[in-house]
Amino acid sequence: MLSAFNGLDVITFAVEIEKNGKRFYEKVSDIFEDTEVKKFFLNLANEEEKHISDFEKLLKDASGNDPQETYKGEYIDYVKSLVDNHVFNTKADIDALVKNIHNKTDALDLALKFEKDSILFFTELKELVAPHNLGIIDNLISQERNHIRLLAQMK
């Protein structure tokens, strides 16, 4: 059944993960009264919106590479595992995650996990996109690294 997944599906998963990240940052901004913290998380939500747009561009050009595998479906099994274990996977209950945030440190820790998971996932996406789209993925990875730096500074 997993062999039915392809690069297009994986990019679709990436869009959904980014949408969950955007919703998370918006909801987190609502729970803080500190305007600096609120603005910080809203800025991250805006960045996630840009990532969604970048991934939607990739969907329009979904031709990609076939990764090397030792058995048919090996790579997609791996990618599916990454999606399923991503903090904001496609089935994530963002409201439930936000309810478990009791302070700024909780929010920043969860955001850091999201950004780290995203870097790992995006790095693997490079195996599935057409070579001329690698720059888009590299740019997204660079942006996620910057988010980690900003989150660490805020923490």
CATH no. for residue 22?
Answer: 1.20.1260.10
Residue pLDDT, tens place only, 71-118:
666 666 666 666 666 656 555 688 888 898 999 999 999 999 989 988
The whole domain housing 78 covers: 2-154
Q: pTM score, two decimals?
A: 0.76
pLDDT, position 91:
58
pLDDT, position 117:
87
- Structural domain count, the chain: 1
> Which of 149, 153, 145, 154 shows the shortest CA–CA distance to 120?
145
Q: Are 11 and 59 in contact (CB under 8 A)?
A: yes
Instruction: Let me know how many helices (H) and strands (E) the chain has, helices first.
Output: 6, 0
State yes or no: pLDDT of 25 exceeds 70: yes
